Amino acid sequence: MSCDSVHLNDDNTEFWLALTKVDGLGVRGAHRLVAHFGSPQAVYMASLTELESSGVPARVAQSIFAQAGISESARDLEAAAKAGCKVVAYSSREYPPLLQQIPDPPMVLYVRGDVGILSRHAVAIVGTRRPTAYGGQVAQRLAEGLAQRQLVIVSGLARGIDSAAHRGAIEAKGKTVAVLGSGIDVIYPKENKRLAEQVIESGALISEFPPGTSPSPENFPIRNRIISGLSLGVVVVEAAEYSGSLITSRLAIDQNREVYAVPGNITSALSFGPNHLIKQGAKLVGDWMDVIEELPAEIRMQLLPSPDASDDATVQGQTGSLFEQSFTPDQKSVFDVLRADEPLFMDAIFSSSGIPQPRVLTALLELEMAGAIRQLPGKNFIRKL
């Protein structure tokens, strides 16, 4: 796989890279500068007076005026080409839109694999590097179920839960993304080299660190914001009290993402993280449906199974009398269970409708979007009069 050629006018890639090299600037400072001047190239074309009046420290302004980082960025682009990767700048059309929304999005991403995967609906699965057999099995099963529903599985390629999540997506012939805490050409741990190649074949391997960067401990909390930032939500499976996975969950909350947790044995130290998150309001997860049902309605509609082809009657529009709407058999079964005067919890709908849970979820979503029913807090549903 070859690296795409990069030119100065291609999303200012070389200048975005250069800003990553300026001591004392940082990611947020760089984004403020670019917003102030209009582009990273304009930052480097600014006068010293303009730079000093932009709010950055004097030494940072002097470094940028002296073109600090330009020669290093050229070397990084060359190293990226040798590593067989693509460099995607923040201003590129290929940069994942969800990641652009976080407070401190990476200025560049080094990518091996399918760049387009980064812009698809994704869920992160994270947890301890030393899971129990239960934890590993749950992580892989969840990843399989979600990947089968066209969700991309994001994790960090670490030992344990991360590896199980990637493998689950691969086993399901789905898509997965691994976010590294090292350079794109430095696989850590080394025993995951084969898994990394499988991830590239099934999705993408990405990093914000330049090629050759070693997996220093301080890099991993930094990369965790990308794991959550790429995802609609983060599922925590087994994490001790001071686990990095809890950092990821806090970042997810800051980024307005969903947080999910798989409950564990209260006598196990590895259950502290997820059980604590559940106490704090995280969604308790037992299977893939618990994850999907928390996502926005328009996304759930894309992920849940469609009605059988033989069910050719469909809910019509969002206007008109309720009785003028034509329901599929599944929709009618669910609608008949619901009442207009008393909300019904989802578990009761499952048990009363007589159809499989995935089809109940699909029918509920379709009825809700058609305006026939309304969802109340706590996953309760009621007919609309």
- The secondary structure of 223-248 as a DSSP string is HHHHHHHTSSEEEEES--TT-HHHHH
- Closest to 32 (Cα-Cα) out of 133, 105, 87, 81: 105
pLDDT confidence of residue 373: 87
The C-alpha atoms of residue 317 and residue 95 are separated, in whole angstroms, by: 35
State residue 180 phi and psi, 5-degree precision: -90, 150
The C-alpha atoms of residue 167 and residue 176 are separated, in whole angstroms, by: 9
Helix axis angle for 133-148 and 161-171, nearest 10°, is 40
**What is the set of domains in the chain, with CATH numbers?**
7-71 (1.10.150), 115-297 (3.40.50.450), 305-383 (1.10.10.10)
Contact 86, 79 (CB under 8 A): no
Q: Which residues contact 232 (CB under 8 A, 6 or more apart)?
A: 98, 121, 122, 123, 257, 258, 295, 299
Q: Tokens 């308790």 belong to which residue?
A: 284
Classify 53 as helix, strand or coil.
coil
Contact 181, 214 (CB under 8 A): no
pLDDT confidence of residue 2: 35
Task: Measure the CA angle with vertex 318, ends 314 and 322; round to 5°.
Answer: 75
Classify 128 as helix, strand or coil.
coil
Helix or strand run (H / E) with residue 98: helix 97-100
Question: Would you give the distance in Å from CA 239 to the centre of its chain?
Answer: 19
pLDDT confidence of residue 342: 82
Helix axis angle for 329-337 and 357-370, nearest 10°, is 80
Tell me the pLDDT of the chain (385 aa) as tens digits: 334 333 333 558 999 999 999 999 999 999 999 999 999 999 999 999 999 999 999 999 999 999 999 999 999 999 898 888 999 999 999 999 999 999 999 999 999 999 999 999 999 999 999 999 999 999 999 999 999 999 999 999 999 999 999 999 999 999 999 999 999 999 999 999 999 999 999 999 999 999 999 999 999 999 999 999 999 999 999 999 989 999 999 999 999 999 999 999 999 999 999 999 999 999 999 889 899 988 988 898 888 765 443 343 333 333 333 333 468 888 888 998 998 778 888 889 998 888 998 899 888 888 887 778 888 877 888 887 5
Strand order, beta sheet including 373-376: 344-345, 380-383, 373-376
Task: Measure the CA angle with vertex 295, ends 334 and 312; round to 5°.
Answer: 40
pLDDT confidence of residue 15: 96
Contact 262, 288 (CB under 8 A): no
* Exposure on the CB side of residue 236, measured as CA atoms within 13 A: 35
pLDDT confidence of residue 370: 79
First to last CA, the chain: 58
The C-alpha atoms of residue 205 and residue 90 are separated, in whole angstroms, by: 17
Token output for 273: 């993280």
Pairing of strands 108-113, 86-89: antiparallel
The C-alpha atoms of residue 35 and residue 48 are separated, in whole angstroms, by: 17
pLDDT confidence of residue 317: 38
pLDDT confidence of residue 12: 87
Residue 66: other Cβ atoms inside 10 A: 10
The C-alpha atoms of residue 119 and residue 115 are separated, in whole angstroms, by: 8
* Exposure on the CB side of residue 278, measured as CA atoms within 13 A: 17
Q: Which residues contact 9 (CB under 8 A, 6 or more apart)?
A: none
